[in-house]
Structure 1
Amino acid sequence: MACDAAAPVDPAEQTVTAGSSGLQYDAASGLYTYVWKTDRAWAGTCRQFTLTFRDGNVASARFKFPK
């Protein structure tokens, strides 16, 4: 569920990976996968996930967590 572009984004927090997962890259598909734990307190909020790569490139995605 995408956030409205005008929706406010809550302050930054560091993510916590789920179990031993983390950022994975599949060279065959060219896709990254990142599994993280969410907090129940995020219900009804809009969050932006920003990933900064070692080379300085940045990728962002916005998420709305339903109640």
Structure 2
Amino acid sequence: MQDATLTWRKSTRSGAAGHCVEVATVPSTVLMRDSKDVAGPVLAFGDTDWAGFIDGVRDGEFDRPRT
């Protein structure tokens, strides 16, 4: 989604290597894209789905198993 009115932001914890995602918000939707491919695909999450995703992140649901 290439929209000049969107304000994309990334975590303040993002490293200098740029391996991160960026988010932007529009009414009732959070957009996410790869910061290294700003012209690439954009994921869209409704408010409820985004809240569930954030809860999962906080709960460690997406943590990779340690080997």
TM-score, length of structure 1 as denominator length:
0.29
Point out which structure has higher relative CO (alpha carbons under 8 A, 6+ apart). Answer: 1
TM-score, length of structure 2 as denominator length:
0.29
Structure richer in helix, relative to its length: 2
Structure richer in strand, relative to its length: 1
